[in-house]
Every structure is written in structure tokens, then in C-alpha cells.
Chain A
Amino acid sequence: MPRAPFLIALALGLTLAAPAHAASSGGRGGVDAEIFLVKDKVWLGGGFSYFPGTFGFDGAFSFIWLTSDAPERGVDGTFVGSQLGLHVAARLDITRGAHVRIATGVDAYPLYGINADEWKLAWPLIAEARVFVTRTLNVFIRPRYYILSSDGLEPGRAYEGDETVPFLVSIGFGGEWK
């Protein structure tokens, strides 16, 4: 846990290269801060995106902790690992101030808080709605569905086994530059 602020700063800092590149090449680049709305977990991180045109790509890196009262078995401490996402995406402008994105790619979960060799993988389908509150600042909501995933990676399933809707949802804010 003491390493967390440094790791978050590193992840967010690494994304700062994207808008500079976008500005010099005519595409649209952006950076985001993101919080995943998941029960009994604190899950947050940052990401970047770059769209030369309608199609582009995005990447994201986040860290996952358990809350102190989360039900768990076989976990030492509260930090469990990360999510690393790399996606290709299509962007559709609805108005000058809002757009939607559809993306797919890979979500990797290195669970190094459990064991250095423990990974899970998923093939996501991501939909995103983004609304600009100023010319560059925006807010977004990003639900994702896993088409395929490793055993033991279960969005929508509670610790006790109860199932709800199988989506992983995150919200956040970002900046975008042309």
C-alpha cells in the first residue's frame, strides 16, 4: 500500500506523452483518470487514447485494492494487483460536445499482490459515452462486457456466488487535445 501513490503517479505520468504527439500530428489524443465502480474494491488508474481519425487506440493501467471489510480468502493484505488494457476503438461524434466509442482488445490482470506469476486475461467489448464540459475537459462512463475471460474472472458475480448483470463499469474524467 505505501507504494500506491508512487505507482499511480507513474501510471498517470506515463500517459502525458499522448496529447503532445497528437498535437503535432493532427490527430486527437487524450488522457483520462478512471474509477471502477466495483463492490468491496478500490480500483482506480489512468489511461490515454489517440485517434488519427474515426479509428484509434487506447490504453489504461489501474490498481486494485480490497476494502478493509471485503470478504476474501487466500489474500495477504489489501493490494491485489492491476488491470492493463490495450484496445482498438472506433469513435463516433454525436455532437461537437459528445461522442461515443466502441472498443475491443485485451484486458490483462497481473495479480502480483497474490503471486508474481498469477495472471488473468479477458477479451472485452467496451462502450463509452463521453460528454465535454469544456473544450478539452470531459466526463465519461465506460461499461464493458467480457466476451471471453480466464477462469475465475467474473464481472457481475458476488463473493458468495450471486450473479447480477455481467458488466464492469468505470467512470472518469479526461482531457482531449487536437
Chain B
Amino acid sequence: MIRKALGITLAALLAALLAGCLPMTFSHEGVIDFEKYPSVYVQPVLVTGQGVFGDGPDSSAQSYLISELRDASGFERVVGEPVNVSAVLVVEVRIDVDYDSQDGTEDYPGTASWYLRTLDGALINEGSTSETSNTPQEALEDLLDEVGHHYLRPYRF
């Protein structure tokens, strides 16, 4: 008896639900107003630390970050030259090395700090993140991926 009642209830619920599915919305608001700042110049990434050979601006890291931002960010235009842009992105990365003498392995802890500024230097947005990876290159790319994700384009669906 209970089983029959449950079955009927279940069938009624299914019919009602199939007749009109409930909505569910996923959304993300951008961290900045991408309509106000539609284009950005990415400066060469300053890479320092014990885990890298030679401190200084890294143009390959700059290219990688430009590619990430073009792929995922809300900026309409991402460039490596400061021409006709509405904002400037400055990224500083530090990658060190932790050597484990017991098992002979190395880890590369890294941090990234970034500053998005207007052309006259006013701060629009900033952030920082840290990651530990197995190689310096992986650490660098993971950190730059995080910068790209920070400026993820707004979505709603």
C-alpha cells in the first residue's frame, strides 16, 4: 500500500517537474568594469628568485600571460605594447627553491603580485597568489594562469 502510494506520488512529481524544469543560474561578475577598461597593456613580467636564472623582465612570460588573458579575460584587447590602451598590467613573480635533502627532490614555491593601473598611474585593481610546483617553468605558468583567472570575463548562464 505504502509502496503504491509512493509510486503514485513519485510519478506525479516527475510529471510536474518534466512539465516545467526549475532554473539554475551560474554567474561571475568581473573583478573590474571591463566596459570602462576594455584594453590592457601587459608589461614584461618581472621574474626574480633563487629558482630562476637571472632576475629581470621576462618577455616570454609576458607573451604567455598575454595569451592567457586573450583566452579567458574580460579585456577586449590585450597587447604587449603601450599603444591605445585603457590600462596597464604590472606583474611581479618570485620563484624560490626548496631542496629536500632526505629524498633529494626540489620544490619551487612561487608568489605573484599584480597591479592594474590607469595610464596616469592610478590603481584600478591588485592581487597576489602563491603556488608550489615541481619545476620553475611550471611554477611560473601556474602563477600566470592565476593572474589570467583573476581577470576572468564575466559570465552568466
Q: Name the segment of A14-22, A25-33, A49-57, A112-120 touching the other chain.
A: A112-120
Known: A70-B157, A117-B149. A37 touches B23 (CB 8 A): no
A71 to B3, CA, bound (A): 41
- Please indicate the chain A residues that have their CB under 8 angstroms from the CB of B20 in the complex: 39
A60-91 near B? 1/0 per residue, CB < 8 Å: 00000010001111110000100000000000
**Is the beta-carbon distance between B6 and A131 smaller than 8 angstroms?**
yes
B16 → chain A closest CB, angstroms: 10
**Is the beta-carbon distance between A152 and B6 smaller than 8 angstroms?**
no
**Is the beta-carbon distance between B3 and A97 smaller than 8 angstroms?**
yes
Using a Cβ–Cβ cut-off of 8 Å, how many residues does chain B contribute to the interface with A?
32
A135-178 near B? 1/0 per residue, CB < 8 Å: 00001010000000000111111110010110111010000000
**Is the beta-carbon distance between B27 and A171 smaller than 8 angstroms?**
no
**Is the beta-carbon distance between A115 and B152 smaller than 8 angstroms?**
yes
**Is the beta-carbon distance between B3 and A117 smaller than 8 angstroms?**
no
**Is the beta-carbon distance between B2 and A153 smaller than 8 angstroms?**
no
Asked if B22 is at the interface of the complex by the 8 Å CB criterion, the answer is: yes
B13 → chain A closest CB, angstroms: 6
Tell me the number of A-to-B contacts counted with CB atoms below 8 Å: 113
**Is the beta-carbon distance between A141 and B13 smaller than 8 angstroms?**
yes
B8 → chain A closest CB, angstroms: 10
B1-14 near A? 1/0 per residue, CB < 8 Å: 01100110110011
Asked if B17 is at the interface of the complex by the 8 Å CB criterion, the answer is: yes
**Is the beta-carbon distance between A158 and B2 smaller than 8 angstroms?**
no
For B17, the closest partner residue in chain A by CB is A37
A114 contacts which of B2, B14, B155 (Cβ < 8 Å)?
A: B155
A153 to B21, CA, bound (A): 17
A5 → chain B closest CB, angstroms: 22
A153 to B154, CA, bound (A): 14
User: B interface vs A, CB < 8 Å?
Assistant: 2-3, 6-7, 9-10, 13-14, 17-18, 20-29, 72, 74, 145-146, 148-149, 152-157
| Given A114-B28, A115-B149, A156-B24: 12 more A-B contacts, CB < 8 Å | A66-B157, A71-B157, A73-B155, A74-B74, A74-B153, A75-B155, A129-B6, A155-B22, A156-B23, A165-B22, A168-B24, A171-B14
